[in-house]
Amino acid sequence: MKVLITGGAGFIASNIADRYLELGHEVVIVDNMISGQKENIPAAAKFYEMDICDEALKNVFEAEKPDIVNHHAAQMDVRKSVADPAYDANVNVIGGLNILQNCVKYKVKKVIFASTGGAIYGEQDYFPADEEHPNRPLSPYGITKLTTEKYLFFYNHVYGLNYTILRYANVYGPRQNPHGEAGVVAIFSQRMLRKEQPRINGEGTQTRDYVFVGDVVKANELALTGGDNRIYNIGTGIETDVNTLFRTIASKMDYDVEEVHADAQPGEQLRSVLTAARIQEELGWEPTVDIKTGLERTVDFFRDKM
């Protein structure tokens, strides 16, 4: 198959691109390089430096005629979405619609959409959250991701465009950049390696479900041929608070500095954790990398880059 990956020079999507190529698929990458890295782009992939909001995106679809679109390009910083909701909506909603319109016009068979679990569910009623949990996003980022999900339902109903929605927990691992809430692993790792003082927002008791990027890649692999018109959480079902994360990373690099706390950030949830029981039952996916192992691999990646 030929797969067009938006945001393919980024942390998660570039790992997915590598795997798709290993499986023998053709890969085309579109990325505006605002946060993407040239070194992340596989040599075997065809690359277009372009914004998903550009009208010229249609030229990529016309030239490449992809079978599947894996849509990861996004404004993905929760705090930036709070500061500039209009920009967030332009990238995540208008850019998403530009992709979907071209998918219909050029007869794409399916869209795999990288959505968000925690930011869509908001403060949870129960833990871990399943896909039926009420959607109460607390940030424009969560709102725009949920909006795109609703558009996917519409495009399937009206035009027959299939989709699989993957609601990620907090993804971390090699190639992660320090943008967005999930970037805390990269931020802590980089600053500790530089012997700088990381700061913990708020009391540090807020929890997240940290899922390793390799496991996320596997979910995207399964979505190529399964899970049509389904929504799946991609998480571990395990909560880790920020203080524990700080101490765990520090222990892996002999970083002996006191925790320093800053003000809590607006729009930041207190607890977030997902159950992936649905995708495990339907597609056989489950997380395989525990946080201790995943953090070791991530710290080693950043250490090698220093």
pLDDT digits (tens, 9 = 90+) for 57-85: 999 999 999 999 999 999 998 888 999 99
132 and 10 within one domain: yes
Quote the CA–CA distance of 64 and 73 in Å, as a whole number.
Answer: 18
Residue 182 predicted with pLDDT over 70: no
Closest CA to 260 of 193, 191, 190, 199: 199
Q: Are residues 150 and 119 in the same domain?
A: yes
Clarify whether residues 31 and 159 are in a common domain: yes
Tens digits of residue pLDDT in 200-243: 999 999 999 999 999 999 999 999 999 999 999 999 999 999 99
Q: Which residue has the tokens 């950049």?
A: 177
- How much is the pLDDT for 254? 82
Q: Which residues of 188-216 are buried (b: 16+ CB within 10 A; e: fewer)?
A: bbbbbbeeeebebbeebebbbbbbbbbbb
The fraction of the chain above a pLDDT of 90, given in percent, is 89
Burial of 127 per CB tally in 10 Å (0-12, 13-18, 19+) = middle
pLDDT higher than 80, residue 33: yes
Question: Is-catalytic flag, 168?
Answer: no
Q: Determine which one of 20, 121, 141, 255 is catalytic.
A: 141
Same domain as 193, residue 102: no
147/288 Cα distance (integer angstroms): 31
Average of per-residue pLDDT values in the chain = 95
Residues 227, 272, single domain; the answer is no
Same domain, 66 and 88: yes
Amino acid present at 222: L
- pLDDT per residue over 238-285, tens digit each? 999 999 999 999 999 888 878 999 998 766 789 999 999 999 999 999
Number of domains composing the chain: 2
pLDDT digits (tens, 9 = 90+) for 158-168: 999 999 999 99
Do 128 and 193 fall within a single domain? Answer: no
pLDDT of residue 1: 98
Q: Which residue has the tokens 């009208």?
A: 55
> Residue 21: its pLDDT value, please?
99
Domain co-membership, 181 together with 282: yes
Whether residues 230 and 251 fall in one domain: no
The CATH number of residue 57's host domain is: 3.40.50.720
pTM for the full predicted model: 0.97
pLDDT tens track for 90-118: 999 999 999 999 999 999 999 999 999 98
Q: What per-residue string of b and e applies to 269-289 under the rule 16 or more CB within 10 Å gives b?
A: bebbbbbbebbeeebebebeb
CATH number at residue 275: 3.90.25.10
Confidence of residue 180 (pLDDT cuts 50, 70, 90): low
Per-residue pLDDT, 143: 98
Residue numbers of the domain that contains 164: 2-171+210-234
The enclosing H or E element of 103 equals helix 95-105
Co-location of 242 and 118 in the same domain: no
DSSP 8: T
Percentage of residues in the chain having pLDDT higher than 70: 98
Question: What pLDDT, on a 0 to 100 scale, did the predictor assign at position 179?
Answer: 61
Residue 273 sits in the same domain as residue 182:
yes
**Half-sphere exposure in the Cβ direction for 74 (13 Å, CA):** 27
184 and 95 part of one domain: no
